[in-house]
Amino acid sequence: MLEPLLSQLNSMRVVLASSSKQRANLLSSMKLKFDIVSSDYEENLNPRDHTFSDFVEKTALGKLNDVHEKLKTDSRPPDLIIASDTMVTCNGKMYGKPRTKEEAIATITDLTQQDLPNSVYTGVVIWYKNKIHKFTEVTTVYMAPLTDKEILSYVETGEPMGKAGGYGIQGLASTFVTRIEGDFNNVIGLPLCRLAFTLKRIVTGST
């Protein structure tokens, strides 16, 4: 998808505003050259004040603005910055990254014992030529029911920590995900197909 654009993009300084190894690996799979600059943005938005899409887009924008501020006086300022934020919802409730083992257990319990799918929202914000472009991608994930013992066993692997919704679909969680509707990469943290189309549109000026 990006092949005709790669030479143009790779002549720029592209920055990924994220410390996520998963996002970096996904972006690398596009053969795109980029720098990684972590954001220090304090993710403190109140979920009750925002729609799900608005929440992830505003959080991603906060990360982007933080990194843009850091780099604006750099010897080689960025030409393009990509930032994103991912969270999971189920039955109207928002789930971020569990901070404790107990939070992880409660999250996985909710996601696997309510007989309801969860939805993964990733907001992506791109800065290019002093303009902001943003979108949200949503993927629906269906999970098999787990027992309390199975949930505890999964949480004790450590995989849920640092992941939105407390699970890594590319890891052990794949053993209890029955199916998905939408972009698999979106669940990991970066919707590559939508990102590629958006980069093509904003860099070439095409519709």
pLDDT digits (tens, 9 = 90+) for 110-142: 999 999 999 999 999 999 999 999 999 999 999
pLDDT for 4: 76
Q: What is the mean pLDDT of residues 170-197?
A: 96
Find out whether 188 and 170 touch, Cβ atoms under 8 Å.
yes
The C-alpha atoms of residue 83 and residue 75 are separated, in whole angstroms, by 21
Give the pLDDT confidence score for residue 180 in this predicted structure.
97
Locate the domains of the chain by residue range: 3-204
pLDDT band with cut points at 50, 70 and 90 for residue 49: confident
- 148 annotated active-site: no
Question: Tokens representing 7?
Answer: 């030479």
Average pLDDT over residues 44-65: 92
* Distance set, CA 170 to CA 98, 163, 189 (Å): 18, 11, 11
φ, ψ dihedrals at 7, nearest 5°: -60, -40
- The C-alpha atoms of residue 84 and residue 124 are separated, in whole angstroms, by 4
pLDDT value for 207: 57
Q: Give residue 1's pLDDT band: very low, low, confident or very high (50, 70, 90).
A: low
Protein fold of 3-204 = Maf protein (3.90.950)
Q: What is the pLDDT of residues 64-112, one digit of tens each?
A: 999 999 998 999 999 999 999 999 999 999 999 999 999 999 999 999 9
Token look-up 């004790």 returns 156
pLDDT of residue 42: 85
Name beta bridge partners: 127. 81, 132
66, 85, 110, 183: which one is catalytic?
A: 85
| Burial category of 76 from C-beta neighbours within 10 Å (exposed 0-12, middle 13-18, buried 19 and up) | exposed
The model's pTM is 0.93
**Sequence-ordered list of residues with C-beta below 8 angstroms from that of 144, at least 6 positions apart, any chain:** 112, 176, 177, 178
| Residues 6 or more apart whose Cβ sits within 8 Å of residue 56 | 84, 85, 86, 87, 121, 122, 123, 136
